[in-house]
């Protein structure tokens, strides 16, 4: 690293912990130098000399980056911090923690999904290869079986996984991130929103039918039909979710 590029902030920012300053500086270095997964950073001793700090401070900074998924620590004589691709699951988990303290409902999630999932369907129609199409087909079969067993938690998980599989075919990084994030939010929100099994059975049946129709459109490489079907699917899902949400809140009120 070039010491000239690392300056300790002054004034108000000087109150930030040194380990946090180092963490941010290493993030910037990874971006500035275009480091890729597998590239190595200097070892602990070199970082201590560069930043003029203790081993404990360096380890605290590296641990923070490891928790973020940006680094992994390689052991052994030639070990040290190694860059790795940040996991989308780790990133979305942090955002979900923030939103758990906000007032969030299905209407807000589906206001975005009704646009983004349609864009996704059109985006991936020509990009879904045989392997991904087979996984979509298996997902539908698994969902159908879970419906038969009335395993509604697994059903709801499989339903969002169908849309996660679509994300794997997309070439739009922002679209992938936003759709995957909304899918993870749904998994947090949906599991036990209503005790009425009939509502979940109806919703499950709709999703299986919608996914089968979407798969047929994807196999036919018909982007217009896929986009239309996804729009109809999202509108219907939003309606079901609103019903489940209303039932959930009503049940809570009556139980008080």
pLDDT tens digits along 113-156: 999 999 999 999 999 999 999 999 999 999 999 988 888 888 88
Mean pLDDT (the chain) is 83
User: Residue 42 and residue 20: Cα distance in Å, rounded?
Assistant: 18
Question: Is the pLDDT reported for residue 171 higher than 90?
Answer: yes
Query: Is it the case that residue 106 has pLDDT exceeding 50?
Result: yes
Pair 77, 92 in one domain: no
Q: Which residues contact 89 (CB under 8 A, 6 or more apart)?
A: 184
> 76: pLDDT confidence band, cut at 50, 70 and 90?
confident
- More confident of the two residues 131 and 31: 131
Q: Tell me: pLDDT of 197 over 70.
A: no
- Of 39, 64, 83, which residue is a domain's last? 83
Same domain, 107 and 182: yes
Between the ranges 4-8, 57-61, 97-101, 210-214, where is the mean pLDDT highest?
A: 210-214
Among 209, 206, 191, 208, residue whose Cα is nearest residue 151: 191
Query: What's residue 239's pLDDT?
Result: 87
Domain with 19 in it: 3-83
Q: What mean pLDDT do residues 69-98 have?
A: 78
Residues 134 and 218 in one domain: yes
The mean pLDDT of 51-72, rounded to a whole number, is 91
Q: Are residues 94 and 150 in the same domain?
A: yes
Same domain, 151 and 250: yes
Residue 65: which CATH number? 1.10.10.10
Domain boundary among 83, 99, 117: 83
pTM over 0.85: no
Whether the per-residue pLDDT at 85 is higher than 90: the answer is no
CATH number at residue 182: 1.20.120.530
Q: Which of 64, 83, 102 is the last residue before a domain boundary?
A: 83
Q: Is the pLDDT of residue 27 over 60?
A: yes
pLDDT tens for each residue of 243-252: 766 544 434 4
**pLDDT tops 60 at residue 105:** yes
Cα within 13 Å of Cα(29), Cβ side: 21
Q: Are residues 67 and 107 in the same domain?
A: no
User: Of 15-19, 97-101, 116-120, 207-211, where does mean pLDDT reach its minimum?
Assistant: 97-101
Which is nearest to 184 in space by CA: 65, 86, 97? 97
Residue 58 above 80 pLDDT? yes
Number of domains in the chain: 2
C-alpha to C-alpha distance for 168 and 186, rounded to whole angstroms: 18
Q: Are residues 63 and 113 located together in one domain of the fold?
A: no
Q: Are residues 114 and 53 in the same domain?
A: no
Choose from 20-24, 162-166, 192-196, 250-254 the range with maximum mean pLDDT.
Answer: 162-166
Judge if 72 and 92 occupy the same domain.
Answer: no
Residues 48 and 167 occupy one common structural domain: no
Same domain, 50 and 144: no
In this structure, the answer to whether residues 12 and 134 fall within a common structural domain is no
Give mean pLDDT, residues 170-187: 91
Pairwise CA distance, residues 132 & 121, whole Å: 14
């Amino acid at each position: 690293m070039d010491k000239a590029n690392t300056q300790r902030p002054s004034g108000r920012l000087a109150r930030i912990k040194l380990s946090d300053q180092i963490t941010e500086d290493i993030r910037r270095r990874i971006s500035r130098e275009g480091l890729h997964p597998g590239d190595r950073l200097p070892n602990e001793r070199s970082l201590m000399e560069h930043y003029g700090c203790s081993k404990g401070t360096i380890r605290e900074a590296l641990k923070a980056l490891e928790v973020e998924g940006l680094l992994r620590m390689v052991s052994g004589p030639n070990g040290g911090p190694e860059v790795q691709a940040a996991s989308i699951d780790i990133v979305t988990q942090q955002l979900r923690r923030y939103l758990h303290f906000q007032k969030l409902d299905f209407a807000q999630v589906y206001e975005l999904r009704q646009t983004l999932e349609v864009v996704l369907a059109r985006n991936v129609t020509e990009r879904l290869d045989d392997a991904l199409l087979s996984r979509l087909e298996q997902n539908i079969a698994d969902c159908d079986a879970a419906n038969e067993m009335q395993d509604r938690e697994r059903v709801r998980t499989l339903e969002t996984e169908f849309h996660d599989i679509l994300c794997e075919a997309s070439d739009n990084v922002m679209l992938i991130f936003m759709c995957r994030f909304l899918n993870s939010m749904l998994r947090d929100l949906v599991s036990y929103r209503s005790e009425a099994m009939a509502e979940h059975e109806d919703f499950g049946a709709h999703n299986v039918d919608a996914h089968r129709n979407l798969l047929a459109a994807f196999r036919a490489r018909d982007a217009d039909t896929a986009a239309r079907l996804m729009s109809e699917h999202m509108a219907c899902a939003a309606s079901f979710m609103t019903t489940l949400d209303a039932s959930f809140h009503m049940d809570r009120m009556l139980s008080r």
